[in-house]
Amino acid sequence: MLTTISLAPLIGSEIQADRKTLLDGSAAPEIRRLLQERGVLVFRKVNFNDEEQLTFTRTLGTPDEQGGYGRLFKITLDKRENPGAEILKGTFFWHIDGTTSDVPALASLLSARRLSPTGGQTEWANTYAAYDALSEADKQAIERLKVVHDQEAAQRMVYPEPTLAQVLSWRKYPQKTHPLVWHHQNGRKSLVVGSTTFYVEGMSLRDSCELLTRLREWATQRQFVYQHEWSVGDLVIWDNTGTMHRALMYAADSGRLMHRTGLAGEESLA
């Protein structure tokens, strides 16, 4: 049994466990259960190095190999540290990772290596809880809607007046159509909204924009959100299928550096 402390009623638990228990995998089944139940799990100052973070990741499922840089991805806006840093400005807006694939990542693990002096907190919203709290009328109205997701939609938030070259570069990510309501294999339902939503199929652009904005605003109300104030050495895991997240603004030259690993998705977004 792990010691857990609830961080907010609807989302987030801190887990207190010694490093050995985390690394030998004996707590993995319980961590997986808690992850689905609580959305976000915080391991304060666990201070894993890269190898340990990868080992811990492997105890929980299949590591996601798509991340680049081997299986450990540097989350920083500093181009010297990550030449692909530009696209990470999209992390300032509410999103679900991997919505331009059919099987989004099951979970992501982020550890803090260097902090920004200001900003740089991370927030998560529980999209299961947000769906559950909708009115019956809303639930019925959105039950069968499908939404086109596009990296372009997310990047337009960073660059509202892009060059054509930018628009074309965003198109190397495929466009994907997903249901607005994810019917999970566990029988629960969650909202699939956030910055990659382009438009609702078969709806006028205005109505689509209104609905997607309303649902994103709904899902990110305080009662569904946990905000993490990082310390160096903290590790946070989130259920990427039942939460969305964003980083609060920090400067590209702030020095902020996070190391991310991920668990490959186990169910398609359906």
Residues found near ligand OGA in the complex (CB under 6 A): 75, 91, 97, 108, 110, 122, 245, 247, 258, 260
* 13, interface contact from Mn ion, ligand OGA, none, CB < 5-8 Å by kind: none
Residue 199: name the closest of 243, 250, 248, 149 by CA. 149
For residue 239, state whether it binds Mn ion (rule: CB under 5 A).
Answer: no
Q: What angle do CA 66, 85, 90 make, to 5 degrees?
A: 85
Q: 134 touches which of ligand OGA, Mn ion, none (CB within 5 to 8 A by kind)?
A: none
Cβ-proximal residue to ligand OGA, closest one: 247
**242, 266 contact by CB (below 8 A):** no
The amino acid sitting at 48 is F
Task: Find the angle CA(92)-CA(96)-CA(102) to the nearest 5 degrees.
Answer: 140
Q: Which does 116 bind (CB under 5 to 8 A by kind): ligand OGA, Mn ion, none?
A: none
Pick 97 or 150: Cβ nearer ligand OGA:
97
Do you know the residue count of the chain?
Answer: 270
Angle between helices 50-60 and 28-38 (to 10 degrees): 80
- Rounded least distance, CB 235 to ligand OGA, Å: 13
Residue 97 engages Mn ion in binding (rule: CB under 5 A): yes
DSSP for 88-100, please give it. Answer: GGGGGS-B-TTTT
Nearer to ligand OGA, 57 or 108 (CB): 108
When asked if residue 123 is in the footprint of Mn ion (CB under 5 A), the reply is no
Query: Which residues of this protein are in contact with Mn ion, per CB under 5 A?
Result: 97
